[in-house]
Amino acid sequence: MPPAIRFDVLTLFPGIFEGFLSESVLKGALATQKIEIRLHNMRDWAEDKHATMDDRPFGGGPGMLLKVDRVVPAVEAIRYQQEPAGRLLMFTPQGHCFGQAFAEELAAEQRIVMLCGRYEGFDERVAEILKPEEVSIGDYILNGGEVAAMAVIETVMRLIPGVLGDENSHRFDSFSTGNRILDCAHYTRPREYRGFSVPEILLSGNHAEIAKWREENSLQRTKEKRPDLLEPVFSDPTLR
C-alpha cells in the first residue's frame, strides 16, 4: 500500500528535522510507510555561488527577507514534480491559528507541501503569487517555520489509520471534533505516593462507575482549566 499521506517540507535547515524523524511514533510510521516525508533544502534553488536566499527589505528596517525569486521557483518545482500538487501551507505568525479541526481536515489529504520561513519572513510577493494557506501555531514568534511544520506533521500523522497502536485512541483526544473537552486525569502505580493516593473508584473494578467518574472529571477539569472550550460545545452542537 502506498503511504496515506506525503509531506514535502521546504526549509533552509533540513537538519532541524533529523531527531524528530528518527524517534518513536514518527520513526515507526516512516519505516512502515504509513506516511512519507521529503525534506527539500531551498538553498538548492539559489543560483549564485553564495547560495543567497535572503536580502534587506526595501524601505529599510531590521532583518532580512526570504527572496521571492528563490522561494517561488523552489515551491513550484516541488509541487509540480508529482501529482497531486497538494495543499500548500506557509508558516508565518500572521497565519490562521492551527488547531485540531484543521489537522483533521489535512489528514484526509494525499499530499501537504509546507513552506518554512526564516529571518524576518518572506517577501510579500511569495504569498501573492503562490496563494498558500498561511498557518500560525500560536501568538508568539519562532525563529522560523520548522517547529511549526513539526507540530503540524505530528498532529496530522496521529490521525492516519494504522499510525497509532490503538485504532480508536486519537478519537478520544482532547480538542478532536468528536470530543471538545479535556481528557480526564489518569493514574498508574504506586497507589500512594508522598501521601497522594489514586481515587478509590479507579481501583474498584466497576467499569460503569469508572466511566462515569472519568466523564465528570473531564468536565470538571475543562471548567477549571479551559472554560472557553465549553462555550461552543453548548452553543453549537455540530462542534461536539
Question: Which residues are identified as catalytic?
Answer: 93, 120, 158, 173
Pick the binder of ligand ADE from 26, 137, 150, 202 (CB under 6 A): 137
* Distance from C-alpha of 119 to C-alpha of 121, rounded to nearest angstrom: 5
Say if CB 175 and CB 228 are below 8 A apart.
no
Interacting stretch for ligand ADE, rule CB under 6 A, among 72-80, 141-149, 209-217, 227-235? 141-149
For residue 136, state whether it binds ligand ADE (rule: CB under 6 A).
Answer: yes
Q: Which is nearer to ligand ADE, 86 or 117 (CB)?
A: 117
- Which span sits near ligand ADE by CB under 6 A: 106-114, 144-152, 156-164, 177-185? 144-152
Put residue 24 in one of left, alpha, beta given phi > 0 → left and psi -120 to 50 → alpha.
left
Contact region for ligand ADE (CB under 6 A) — 59-67, 132-140, 196-204, 221-229? 132-140
CB of 9 to ligand ADE, least distance (A): 13
Does position 145 interact with ligand ADE (CB under 6 A)? The reply is: yes
Q: How far is the CB of 81 from ligand ADE (least distance, A)?
A: 25
Q: Is 142 helix (H, G, I), strand (E, B) or coil?
A: coil
Specify whether the backbone of 162 is left (phi greater than 0), alpha (psi in -120 to 50) or beta: left
Cell numbers linked to 218: 473531564
132 binds ligand ADE (CB under 6 A): no
Q: How far is CA 60 from CA 57, 63, 150, 155, 203, in A?
A: 6, 9, 32, 38, 66
- ω into 57 cis (within 30 of 0): no
Q: State how far the Cα of 64 lies from the Cα of 77, in Å rounded to an integer.
A: 24
Instruction: Select from 1, 58, 83, 140 the one that contacts ligand ADE (CB under 6 A).
Output: 140
* Total interface residues for ligand ADE by CB under 6 A: 13
**Site for ligand ADE contains 148 (CB under 6 A):** yes
Min CB(23)–ligand ADE separation in Å: 23
- Subset of residues 83 to 112 that bind ligand ADE, contact rule: CB under 6 A: 91-93
Unique residue bearing C-alpha cell 465528570? 216
Residues 6 or more apart from 28 whose CB is under 8 A from it?
A: 163
Shortest reach from residue 89's CB to ligand ADE, in Å: 10
Minimum CB distance to ligand ADE smaller for 112 or for 148 = 148
